């Protein structure tokens, strides 16, 4: 490491006065013009992480479903997962350092405490469609180079594509963008090759983000096996009145799809295409949402159908579903009582769900907001490869493994998962929707002076501070039939979030409002 050179580079990316960036649920996010120093420092961090682990790391410049004027950064481990939580404190320290001198001192401390070898770390960089991406990617590259590392500029990609590439690169597998399409499309083709179900056109709201171009590329590889019509492909504002977050939280039809036909199969991606929800218009005109909880249930049914045909002499693979407190109570009940699968509940954020899903042979994790995937334990994969020579069911599971992004939740591979599952059961959206009826729910956000005064425990289902808040919430919940409510500080916005569900929409709304008042 050339200290003089490092100092000079650090000086070029000064932190704006008064800006206090913090690593949130999934990295840093802020108004884009504030972020140059933060992204530069994340470049430093990921170059160091690459040296520490002896493998390539990744960095995506994106603010996901947030407005186009925001930006952010998501950091990728060599495994393709999110940055190891033990390093989040380093990310915070680096991002928050007041000046170049303080920054260099933290770097020295990092090298010493983490015992970082000297050398050149490889960091793969990608970005979404935000206009601020170009400058921020430059800042990230400068950060990597300032530590003597090698930035590999991968360009415009969905967040899950970059995660997938980092994982494949480190496993010495082909990891180009076109290999990504090839691999997930091959899995899908295998799973649907003998399906007789009539194909349905899927209309996809692409949130005016990167998903539009990438889903088009994927559909082209599927040579007619997936009929998609794309909407919000870039003609409007990014995530503006459209996208998975808008549809899931507002329960409204996205821009350009207000006039969709009753019963037409529709889906929404978010701005960086790591979230997916399905929806349709009911005969009464209202929107019916098929969210991440339902995708998890559908994935479980697909897996169970295949496992029922797998004969093996060892114990059956364990299958479990991981959710957060946002999961609709009706979905959790269905999973426990009908599917009879093990469930786990974790705090919000992929890093938490992912870790819990790894405890099963096949771990399905989905947040209600549509972020999730299906993970296969390496020992099971090995067994399946052996069984695959003689058994169709093992081949099907291996096809599923290739189709579903093993690194992180992925809306494009999620579409293939849903479409394959529906087609193999010859199901339409109604069959899927009829599995259970969601309890009415309401989400609110409360602006407070300092959201950090709210702290939680038990996977965010219980407020620990401020004192007395939880007992007031309990009191309100007691007054609502089938009521449930919780509050948590957002990890991506300066607000406290409120969730409530109850027997009727009116009761859920009332409960949410009462709880929001307790937060004030």
State which of positions 176-215 bind Zn ion (CB under 5 A). none
Q: How far is CA 156 from the centre of its chain?
A: 18
Report if residue 203 touches ligand 16G, rule: CB under 6 A. no
Closest by CA position to 405, among listed 332, 354, 340, 477: 354
User: How many whole angstroms separate alpha carbon 451 and alpha carbon 259?
Assistant: 39
Report if residue 26 touches ligand 16G, rule: CB under 6 A. yes
Residue 491 assigned to a binding site = yes
Closer of 41 and 497 to ligand 16G (Cβ): 497
Within 10 A of 49 (CB to CB), how many other CB atoms are there? 30
* Assigned token pair, 23: 């690593």
- Number of residues this chain uses to bind ligand 16G (CB under 6 A): 14
Closer of 263 and 491 to ligand 16G (Cβ): 491
Kindly indicate which of the ranges 222-230, 272-280, 401-409, 484-492 contains the residues binding Zn ion, using the contact rule CB under 5 A. 272-280
* Assigned token pair, 66: 């947030």
For the CB of residue 212, give the shortest distance to Zn ion in the complex, in Å.
14
Residue 367 assigned to a binding site = yes
Residue 488 assigned to a binding site = yes
Element housing 287 (H / E): strand 287-290
* Assigned token pair, 365: 């994790």
Report if residue 346 touches ligand 16G, rule: CB under 6 A. no
State which of positions 44-103 bind ligand 16G (CB under 6 A). 64
Closest by CA position to 269, among listed 322, 211, 218: 211
Active site (annotated) includes residue 64: yes
Closest by CA position to 451, among listed 485, 486, 490: 490
Closer of 64 and 239 to ligand 16G (Cβ): 64
Kindly indicate which of the ranges 96-104, 134-142, 274-282, 317-325 contains the residues binding Zn ion, using the contact rule CB under 5 A. 274-282
**String marking each residue 41-80 x if it binds Zn ion according to CB under 5 A:** -----------------------x----------------
Closest by CA position to 22, among listed 64, 72, 65: 72
Q: Which of 57, 369, 441, 443 binds ligand 16G (CB under 6 A)?
A: 369
For the CB of residue 270, give the shortest distance to Zn ion in the complex, in Å.
4
Residue 250 assigned to a binding site = no
Kindly indicate which of the ranges 232-240, 263-271, 336-344, 483-491 contains the residues binding Zn ion, using the contact rule CB under 5 A. 263-271
By a kind-dependent CB cut-off of 5 to 8 A, residue 361 interacts, out of Zn ion, ligand 16G, none, with none
Residue 440 assigned to a binding site = no
Closer of 163 and 484 to ligand 16G (Cβ): 163
By a kind-dependent CB cut-off of 5 to 8 A, residue 270 interacts, out of ligand 16G, Zn ion, none, with Zn ion
Report if residue 272 touches Zn ion, rule: CB under 5 A. yes
* Assigned token pair, 199: 């194909």
Which residues are registered as beta bridge partners of 344? Answer: 322
User: How many whole angstroms separate alpha carbon 520 and alpha carbon 509?
Assistant: 17
Closer of 116 and 350 to ligand 16G (Cβ): 350
Closest by CA position to 247, among listed 294, 284, 205, 283: 205
- Number of residues this chain uses to bind Zn ion (CB under 5 A): 4
By a kind-dependent CB cut-off of 5 to 8 A, residue 349 interacts, out of Zn ion, ligand 16G, none, with ligand 16G
Within 10 A of 283 (CB to CB), how many other CB atoms are there? 7
For the CB of residue 310, give the shortest distance to ligand 16G in the complex, in Å.
31
Report if residue 25 touches ligand 16G, rule: CB under 6 A. yes
Alpha helices, H only, 54-158:
88-96, 100-113, 133-146
Q: Is 20 helix (H, G, I), strand (E, B) or coil?
A: coil
Closer of 26 and 515 to ligand 16G (Cβ): 26
In the DSSP assignment, the letter for residue 176 is S
Catalytic residue among 64, 132, 142, 232: 64
Within 10 A of 11 (CB to CB), how many other CB atoms are there? 12
Which residues are registered as beta bridge partners of 462? Answer: 457
Closest by CA position to 167, among listed 354, 448, 408: 408
CA distances for 316 relative to 282, 384, 394, 396, 404, angstroms: 40, 12, 13, 16, 21
By a kind-dependent CB cut-off of 5 to 8 A, residue 497 interacts, out of ligand 16G, Zn ion, none, with ligand 16G
Sequence-distant (6+) residues with CB within 8 A of 251 are 287, 289
For the CB of residue 237, give the shortest distance to Zn ion in the complex, in Å.
16
User: How many whole angstroms separate alpha carbon 480 and alpha carbon 242?
Assistant: 32
By a kind-dependent CB cut-off of 5 to 8 A, residue 491 interacts, out of ligand 16G, Zn ion, none, with ligand 16G
Within 10 A of 147 (CB to CB), how many other CB atoms are there? 27
By a kind-dependent CB cut-off of 5 to 8 A, residue 492 interacts, out of Zn ion, ligand 16G, none, with ligand 16G
Report if residue 492 touches ligand 16G, rule: CB under 6 A. yes
Residue 317 assigned to a binding site = no
Helix 292-307 vs helix 411-425: crossing angle, to nearest 10: 50
Q: Which of 129, 348, 406, 470 binds ligand 16G (CB under 6 A)?
A: 348
Sequence-distant (6+) residues with CB within 8 A of 378 are none
Q: Which of 317, 349, 370, 414 binds ligand 16G (CB under 6 A)?
A: 349
Residue 489 assigned to a binding site = yes
Element housing 122 (H / E): strand 122-127
**String marking each residue 297-336 x if it binds ligand 16G according to CB under 6 A:** ----------------------------------------
- Which residues make up the interface to ligand 16G (CB under 6 A)? 25-26, 64, 348-350, 367, 369, 371, 490-493, 497
- Which residues make up the interface to Zn ion (CB under 5 A)? 64, 270, 272, 274
Catalytic residue ranges = 64
Annotated binding site for Mg(2+): 64, 270, 272, 274
């Amino acid at each position: 490491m050339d200290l003089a050179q490092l100092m000079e580079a650090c000086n070029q990316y000064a932190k704006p006065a008064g800006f206090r960036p913090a690593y949130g649920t999934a990295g840093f996010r802020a108004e884009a013009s504030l972020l140059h120093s933060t992204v530069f420092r994340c470049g430093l961090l990921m170059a160091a992480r690459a040296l520490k682990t002896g493998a390539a790391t990744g960095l995506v410049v994106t603010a996901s479903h947030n407005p186009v004027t925001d930006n952010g950064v998501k950091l990728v481990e060599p495994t393709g997962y999110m940055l190891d939580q033990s390093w989040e404190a380093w990310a915070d320290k680096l991002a928050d350092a007041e000046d170049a001198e303080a920054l260099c001192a933290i770097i020295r401390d990092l090298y010493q405490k983490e015992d970082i070898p000297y050398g050149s770390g490889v960091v793969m960089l990608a970005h979404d469609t935000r206009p601020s991406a170009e400058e921020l990617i430059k800042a990230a590259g400068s950060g990597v180079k300032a530590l003597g590392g090698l930035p590999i500029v991968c360009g415009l990609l969905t967040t899950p594509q970059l995660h997938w590439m980092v994982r494949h690169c480190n496993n010495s597998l082909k990891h180009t963008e076109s290999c990504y399409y090839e691999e997930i499309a091959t899995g899908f083709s295998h799973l649907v090759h003998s399906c007789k179900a009539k194909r349905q056109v899927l209309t996809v709201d692409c949130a005016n983000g990167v998903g539009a171009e990438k889903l088009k590329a994927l559909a082209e590889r599927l040579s007619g096996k997936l009929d998609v019509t794309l909407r919000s492909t870039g003609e409007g504002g990014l995530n503006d009145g459209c996208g998975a977050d808008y549809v899931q939280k507002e329960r409204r039809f996205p821009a350009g799809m207000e006039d969709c036909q009753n019963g037409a199969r529709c889906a929404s991606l978010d701005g960086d295409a790591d979230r997916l929800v399905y929806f349709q218009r009911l005969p009464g005109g209202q929107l019916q949402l098929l969210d991440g909880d339902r995708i998890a249930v559908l994935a479980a049914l697909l897996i169970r159908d295949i496992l029922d045909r797998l004969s093996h002499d060892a114990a059956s693979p364990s299958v479990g579903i991981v959710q957060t407190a946002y999961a609709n109570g009706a979905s959790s009940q269905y999973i426990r009582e009908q599917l009879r699968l093990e469930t786990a509940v974790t705090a919000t954020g992929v890093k938490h769900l992912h870790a819990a899903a790894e405890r099963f042979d096949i771990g399905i994790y989905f947040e209600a907001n549509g972020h999730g995937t299906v993970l296969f334990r390496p020992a099971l994969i090995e067994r399946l490869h052996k069984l695959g020579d003689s058994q169709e069911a093992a081949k099907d599971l291996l096809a599923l493994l290739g189709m579903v992004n093993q690194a992180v939740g992925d809306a494009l591979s999620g579409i293939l998962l849903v479409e394959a599952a529906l087609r193999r059961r010859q199901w339409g959206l109604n069959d899927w929707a009829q599995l259970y009826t969601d309890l009415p729910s309401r989400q609110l956000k409360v602006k407070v002076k300092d959201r950090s005064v709210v702290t939680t425990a038990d996977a965010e289902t219980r407020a620990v501070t401020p004192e007395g808040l939880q007992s007031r919430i309990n009191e309100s919940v007691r007054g609502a039939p089938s009521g449930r409510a919780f509050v948590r500080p957002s990890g991506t916005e300066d607000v406290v979030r409120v969730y409530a569900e109850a027997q009727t929409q009116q009761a859920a709304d009332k409960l949410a409002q009462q709880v929001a008042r307790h937060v004030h």
